[in-house]
């Protein structure tokens, strides 16, 4: 659905309809999907020492006149029941999937399908990062989209984006094309 070289701002503009001054983003996904690495990469921080998120991280990232308030919430099974407490006033849900962890696709799909039913996320656009595309065993973003039946999400804008949080490919602030 999306070109692999789109930048985050162009994706936000597409999903939200226009660039806003300030955007509240909730960053979710299963443990070890790469959420914190992605957030640190966006904030131009060192990614060499990342530990599993036990609660949440909050970062404000500003660029090109836009301020992103990003809530990165841990993805361990025991924490997931608390995700819904952080969904108020969400402008964009970013859901991160480990594209190389095929044995967890069903689990991540179930979590995502439950999230889209949450009242606080009604109509909220979703950006799905198909992370870890740098690994040889990674599934293509289009295959993940089909497997998750994303085409059935008709009540909101959504886009799936192939990326590598380690290299930054696919998560740039701006499109390399424009």
Task: Name the residues annotated as catalytic.
Answer: 76
Establish whether 53 is an annotated binding residue.
yes
Establish whether 75 is an annotated binding residue.
yes
Establish whether 34 is an annotated binding residue.
yes
Q: Which two tokens stand for residue 82?
A: 């608390």
Q: For residues 130 and 168, is the Cβ–Cβ distance under 8 A?
A: no
CA distance 85 to 82: 6
Beta strands in 12-151 (DSSP E): 22-28, 56-63, 66-73, 92-98, 126-131
- 170: phi then psi, degrees, rounded to nearest 5: 90, -5
CA distance 63 to 141: 27
Closest CA to 14 of 69, 89, 92: 92
Q: For residues 64 and 21, is the Cβ–Cβ distance under 8 A?
A: no
Establish whether 33 is an annotated binding residue.
yes
Establish whether 36 is an annotated binding residue.
yes
Establish whether 64 is an annotated binding residue.
no
Contacts of 154 (CB under 8 A, 6+ apart): none
Establish whether 31 is an annotated binding residue.
yes
Establish whether 134 is an annotated binding residue.
yes
Establish whether 29 is an annotated binding residue.
yes
Provide Rg for the chain, Cα atoms: 15
Establish whether 32 is an annotated binding residue.
yes
Point out the annotated binding site for GTP.
29-36, 75, 131-134
Please enumerate, by residue number, every residue annotated as part of a binding site: 29-36, 53, 75, 131-134
Binding residues for Mg(2+): 36, 53
């Amino acid at each position: 659905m999306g070109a692999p070289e789109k930048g985050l701002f162009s994706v936000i503009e597409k999903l939200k309809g226009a660039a806003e001054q300030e955007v509240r983003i909730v960053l979710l996904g299963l443990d070890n999907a790469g959420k914190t690495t992605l957030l640190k990469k966006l904030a131009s921080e060192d990614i060499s020492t990342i530990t599993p998120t036990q609660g949440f991280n909050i970062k404000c990232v500003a660029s090109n006149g836009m301020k992103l308030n990003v809530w990165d919430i841990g993805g361990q099974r025991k924490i997931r029941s608390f995700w819904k407490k952080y969904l108020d006033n969400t402008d964009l849900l970013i859901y991160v999937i480990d594209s190389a962890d095929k044995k967890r696709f069903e689990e991540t799909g179930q979590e995502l399908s439950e999230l889209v039913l949450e009242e606080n996320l009604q109509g909220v656009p979703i950006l799905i990062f198909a992370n870890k595309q740098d690994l040889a065993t990674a599934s293509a973003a289009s295959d993940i989209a089909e497997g998750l039946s994303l085409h059935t999400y008709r009540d909101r804008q959504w886009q799936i984006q192939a990326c590598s949080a380690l290299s930054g490919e696919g998560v740039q602030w701006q499109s390399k094309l424009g």
